[in-house]
Amino acid sequence: MSGDAGKVYLVGAGPGDPELITVKGLRLLREADVVLHDRLLNDELLRDLRAEIIDVGKAPGRHKLSQEEINELLIKKAREGKIVVRLKGGDPYLFGRGGEEALALREAGIPFEVVPGVTSAIAAPALAGIPVTHRGVSTAFTVVTGHEEPGKEKELDWHALARLGGTLVVLMGVGRIRENTTMLIDGGLSPQTPAALIERGSWPDQRCVRGTLGDIAERASSFRVKSPAVLIVGDVVNLEKHLGRRRIAILRAEGQLDGSVRLAERYGFIPVAAPSISLRALDLPPDIKEKIERVDCVVFTSSNGVDIISRSGLLDLIQKKRVAAIGPKTARALTDKGVNVDVIPDEYSSAGLVEALRGIRKVLLLRSAQGSPALLDGLLSAGAEVEDVPVYEVTGSGDERLDDLIRRAELIDVFAFTSGSTARYLMRRAGELGMEDHLRKALDSALVVAIGPPTASVLRELGVRVDLIPERYTFEGMLEAARKEIGVRP
Nearest distance in Å: CB 131, ligand SAH: 16
Instruction: Tell me the residue number closest to ligand SAH, measured at CB.
Output: 90
Q: What is the dihedral of CA 244, 245, 246, 249, to 10 degrees?
A: -160
Nearest distance in Å: CB 25, ligand SAH: 13
- CA–CA separation, 436 and 419 (whole Å): 19
58 labelled catalytic: yes
The conformational region for residue 268 under phi > 0 = left, psi -120 to 50 = alpha, else beta, is left
Nearest distance in Å: CB 20, ligand SAH: 9
Nearest distance in Å: CB 97, ligand SAH: 9
Which residue number, 173 or 452, has a Cβ lying nearer to ligand SAH?
173
Distances from the Cα of 257 to the Cαs of 9, 304, 397, in angstroms? Answer: 42, 12, 13
Active-site hit among 24, 58, 64, 76: 58
The answer to whether the CB of 365 falls within 8 A of the CB of 299 is yes
Which residue number, 7 or 58, has a Cβ lying nearer to ligand SAH?
58
- CA–CA separation, 268 and 266 (whole Å): 5
The answer to whether the CB of 443 falls within 8 A of the CB of 465 is yes
Q: Which residues contact 431 (CB under 8 A, 6 or more apart)?
A: none
Which residue number, 55 or 485, has a Cβ lying nearer to ligand SAH?
55
The answer to whether the CB of 104 falls within 8 A of the CB of 71 is yes
Q: Three-state SS string across 31-47, please?
A: HCCEEEECCCCCHHHHC
CB-based burial label for 242 (10 Å; 0-12, 13-18, 19+): exposed
Which residue number, 143 or 416, has a Cβ lying nearer to ligand SAH?
143
Nearest distance in Å: CB 117, ligand SAH: 6
Nearest distance in Å: CB 15, ligand SAH: 4
Which residue number, 394 or 411, has a Cβ lying nearer to ligand SAH?
411
Which element (helix H / strand E) includes 1? none
What is the contact surface with ligand SAH in residues (CB under 6 A)?
15-16, 40, 88-91, 94-96, 119-121, 124, 171-173, 198, 200-202, 227-230
Which residue number, 196 or 447, has a Cβ lying nearer to ligand SAH?
196
Active-site hit among 24, 76, 172, 362: 172
291 labelled catalytic: no
Among the listed residues 472, 466, 432, the one whose alpha carbon sits nearest the alpha carbon of residue 446: 466
Q: Which residues contact 120 (CB under 8 A, 6 or more apart)?
A: 15, 16, 89, 90, 171, 201, 202, 228, 230
289 labelled catalytic: no
Nearest distance in Å: CB 267, ligand SAH: 25
**Residue 285 CB-half CA count within 13 A:** 12
198: helix, coil or strand?
A: strand
Which residue number, 209 or 449, has a Cβ lying nearer to ligand SAH?
209
Active-site hit among 38, 91, 399, 413: 38
Catalytic residues: 38, 58, 172
